[in-house]
Amino acid sequence: MPKYKYSVIRFVPSPVRGEFVNLGVIIGSDQTGEWLIEVVGSKSRASRLDDDKVLPLLATDLERLQTTIESYSEPEIFESGVELSEDWLAGLSRNSRNLLQFSHPNAVVAEGLSQAFEKLWGRLIVESIPTKRNSMTKASVTAKYVTALTNSRLDSSHMKRRVKLETSKTHANIDVAVHNGVVKDITQCWSLQIKAAEPLLNEIKAWGWTIKTLRDHGGLILAGRQPIQVPNDVRVGVVYAASSDNELMDEAFDVFSDTDINADCVTVENAAKHAQVAAQLVSDQPGLDLQP
């Protein structure tokens, strides 16, 4: 199971007195690439200690931090100026010595990000019921697919994550490329459950245009010291979290099912089957020797 690092968000009105109230939690993992922040809806306990009435100012800082983390979880949709990592979280903790502080990161092991969050929230936050999370982020979809590849006995030497695919006319970011010296599978992970439907569809259409160009001329994956060849008949996959928005689903599948793209599409719940095929392609079809 993956290991996550978490830090507790604390309101410390008087560091001298040592009083504090837990306002929320940040959880993330370099291993899975997922990050989550949750802040209490009610700040009544904190308000009772807020003699100087600074909570509204701190709420603005927290909203800014929430935007940063949520943007990182959907990189195609929102621009994020901060590269989140476990080191970033440790730095956030070290540098917080004022009214808003972040505890030293600790580890928690769980099946997934949501399970880690549920395990921690009840222990750390006493006054608030967490928001019910019915949606998945792109980062969580990608993490589940990468876990499925690992369970199919593919290691990091056969996987390239978050790489650039370059064709003769355009380029696109690819979430996961599976290769044995020649790329055998490129899979894009999408969450169709986010609210920003129009930007999401624009990104899907831009990805589709790049794949169409790939089908005509082939391309290259730019990662590491040497580019990796991508043949025009490479298997193209889509792993997605389905949405109840039928219009969004229809428009997305207009791209995914385009005959010039010919993508193999599976829901995130069926990521394991998709990963098994990718692993089989690596073992069945010899490629160039892998670089050590």
CATH number of residue 155's parent domain? 3.40.1350
Of 168, 169, 160, the closest CA to residue 222 belongs to 160
Residues 117 and 144 reside in one and the same domain: no
Residues pairing with 171 in the sheet: 166
- Hey, is 42 helix, strand or coil? coil
Last residue of a domain, one of 63, 92, 124: 124
Q: For residues 255 and 262, what is the distance between their CA atoms, to the nearest angstrom? A: 9
The answer, yes or no, to whether residue 230 has pLDDT greater than 80, is: yes
- Hey, is 165 helix, strand or coil? strand
Residues 118 and 164 reside in one and the same domain: no
Give the tens place of pLDDT for each residue, 256-291: 999 999 899 999 999 999 999 999 998 865 544 433
- 183: enclosing H helix or E strand: strand 183-191
Tokens read off for 247: 């219009």
Residues 270 and 150 reside in one and the same domain: yes
Amino acid type, 266 = V
Give me the percent of the chain exceeding a pLDDT of 70: 89
Q: Rg (Cα) of the chain, in Å, rounded?
A: 21
Q: What is the mean pLDDT of residues 209-230?
A: 90
Tokens read off for 135: 């949606």
Host domain of residue 13: 3-124
Report the predicted TM-score, pTM, of the whole model to 2 decimal places.
Answer: 0.70
User: Within a domain: residue 106?
Assistant: yes
Q: For residues 289 and 292, what is the distance between their CA atoms, to the nearest angstrom? A: 9
Q: Phi-psi bin for 91: left (phi > 0), alpha (psi -120 to 50), beta? A: alpha
Query: Alpha carbon of 119 to those of 124, 176, 178: distances in Å?
Result: 9, 29, 33
